[in-house]
Amino acid sequence: MASSTLFSNCSLKRESFNSNKEFKFNALNPMNRLPVKAMLSFDFMNSRLLTDEKWLKWGQSERFLRNRMQCHAVEVEKVLVYPMRKKFQLDDVIEAQQFDRETLNAIFEVAKKMEKIEKKSPGSQILKGYLMATLFYEPSTRTRLSFESAMKRLGDTIRTVEGYSDIIVMRHFESGAAKRAAATAGIPIINAGDGPGQHPTQALLDVYTIEREIGKLEGIKVGLVGDLANGRTVRSLSYLLAKYQDVKIYFVSPDVVKMKDDIKEYLTSLDVKWEESHDLMEVASKCDVVYQTRIQRERFGERIDLYEEARGKYIVDKNVLKVMQKHAVVMHPLPRLDEITVEVDGDPRAAYFRQAKNGLYIRMALLKLLLVGW
């Protein structure tokens, strides 16, 4: 992404360290893949990142740190003083299991308010004075821009600054990376995806979308389709769906990317009905939601043969739409490859673009709750 007055990125590479600078910070130490000379650790004080008691500010054009990490920061200038708010019960957003029904319902109510703010009050100043940094060790333009857009709509003026922040949105290629970062960070961490582990904010917007589209979350049938072994979105979504009564989940996937046993055992422990199937047409005819995912080439490593075996096996097209119920919807975490044909886009049951828009409202809600409370 090209730099602009609103956003700028620094591609961080091992060889681009300036060895005569010593940085002292203490939250992403768990990654620990930086050169020894860099002596990196995070030290969060007063909700700002400091070095030698001074604000650390990186030049927008400078290159720092480790291989291919994208680092962004979004700041809302001038802190406004608001009445004391009730603190949000979570310090970080790391995994779907953190949320109970009551919290989910409350977050969704805040998200609905955020939708009104986005449409009617573009000059909202709820988060004025706060800075969000996005640390992405894996590329994801859509998720990063969704968070940055969420931050923008809750402030007045945005400027991009690299270095210090009040909250960190983090994506990493290793499962559990966000949890390790949160264990040492002094500011909130939001997990924006950790390898094949979880993607809790995606699951929140998915459940929010299902409620908006279907009108209920209890007594529904959901078909999860595609790469269920490596897809972090379907793992997190399964955890959240398990919190609702009389839900049934169908797992439709090639054998090489079946849903892992830990999710199936978790669902069974809560008496949530689930079923594995190879027949997409049959499942689509029964379900309220067909949740399609792409087969991700990067998750197969050197096993190209397994990737070729899995890809293209299940495609949502007009034939699938014909067997779906009129009220049912097709969802997808995006981006897609060829697993949903473009002819589906014009059908009112294609909910994936509305789903992506809902991601903005959920992320606005989370940023507001983590930074200023209820």
Question: Cα(372)–Cα(374) distance, rounded to whole angstroms?
Answer: 7
- The distance of Cα 198 from the centroid of its chain, to the nearest Å, equals 8
Cβ atoms of 212 and 289 within 8 Å: the answer is: no
pLDDT for res 46: 35
Residue 337, classified by CB atoms within 10 Å of its CB into exposed (0-12), middle (13-18) or buried (19+), is exposed
Instruction: Tell me the domain boundaries of the chain.
Output: 96-197+359-372, 200-296+306-357
pLDDT band, residue 262 (cuts 50/70/90): very high
Cβ atoms of 318 and 349 within 8 Å: the answer is: no
Top mean-pLDDT range of 17-26, 63-72, 282-291: 282-291
pLDDT band, residue 92 (cuts 50/70/90): very high
Q: Is the pLDDT of residue 10 over 80?
A: no
What lies within 8 Å, CB to CB, of 79 at 6+ separation is 128, 129, 130
Instruction: Out of 83-87, 169-173, 222-226, pick the least confident.
Output: 83-87
By C-alpha distance, which of 220, 230, 242, 234 is closest to 97?
A: 242
Cβ atoms of 65 and 72 within 8 Å: the answer is: no
Count of other CB atoms within 10 angstroms of residue 103? 15
Instruction: Out of 207-216, 228-237, 248-257, 292-301, pick the least confident.
Output: 292-301
pLDDT for res 142: 61
What value does the mean pLDDT take over residues 43-54? 34
pLDDT band, residue 183 (cuts 50/70/90): confident
Query: For 8, how many CA atoms within 13 A lie in the half-sphere containing its CB?
Result: 16
Residue 153, classified by CB atoms within 10 Å of its CB into exposed (0-12), middle (13-18) or buried (19+), is buried
Q: Which two tokens stand for residue 112?
A: 């609905």
Q: Is the pLDDT of residue 83 over 60?
A: no
Same fold, 96-197+359-372 and 200-296+306-357: yes
pLDDT for res 119: 83
* DSSP SS3 for 253: coil
Instruction: Out of 77-81, 162-166, 181-185, pick the least confident.
Output: 77-81
Higher-scoring residue by pLDDT: 143, 190: 190
pLDDT for res 210: 98
Question: Cα(251)–Cα(274) distance, rounded to whole angstroms?
Answer: 7
Question: Cα(270)–Cα(94) distance, rounded to whole angstroms?
Answer: 21
Question: Cα(155)–Cα(153) distance, rounded to whole angstroms?
Answer: 6
Question: Cα(356)–Cα(172) distance, rounded to whole angstroms?
Answer: 21
Output the CA torsion sign for 101, 102, 105, 111.
negative
Q: CATH top-level class for 200-296+306-357? A: alpha beta
Question: Cα(124)–Cα(108) distance, rounded to whole angstroms?
Answer: 19
Q: Identity (one letter) of the amino acid at 256?
A: V
Pick 96-197+359-372's CATH classification: 3.40.50.1370, 3.30.360.10, 3.40.50.2300, 3.90.800.10.
3.40.50.1370
pLDDT, one tens digit per residue, over 342-364 is 999 999 999 999 999 999 999 99
Count of other CB atoms within 10 angstroms of residue 186? 14
pLDDT band, residue 153 (cuts 50/70/90): low
Question: Cα(253)–Cα(302) distance, rounded to whole angstroms?
Answer: 21
Q: What pTM was computed for the model?
A: 0.74
Q: Is the pLDDT of residue 113 over 60?
A: yes
What value does the mean pLDDT take over residues 150-167? 56
Q: Report percent pLDDT > 90 for the chain.
A: 47
- Radius of gyration over alpha carbons of the chain, in Å? 21
What value does the mean pLDDT take over residues 240-259? 96
Q: Identity (one letter) of the amino acid at 60?
A: Q
pLDDT band, residue 54 (cuts 50/70/90): very low
Q: Which two tokens stand for residue 180?
A: 């390790």
pLDDT, mean over the chain? 77
Over the range 209-233, which residues count as b (16 or more CB within 10 Å of their CB) and which as e? bbbbbbeebeebbbbbbbbbbbbbb
* DSSP SS3 for 37: helix
By C-alpha distance, which of 71, 66, 72 is closest to 32?
A: 66
Question: Cα(205)–Cα(333) distance, rounded to whole angstroms?
Answer: 10
Residue 246, classified by CB atoms within 10 Å of its CB into exposed (0-12), middle (13-18) or buried (19+), is exposed
Instruction: Out of 71-85, 197-211, 306-320, 322-336, pick the least confident.
Output: 71-85
pLDDT, one tens digit per residue, over 190-225 is 999 888 889 999 999 999 999 999 999 999 999 999
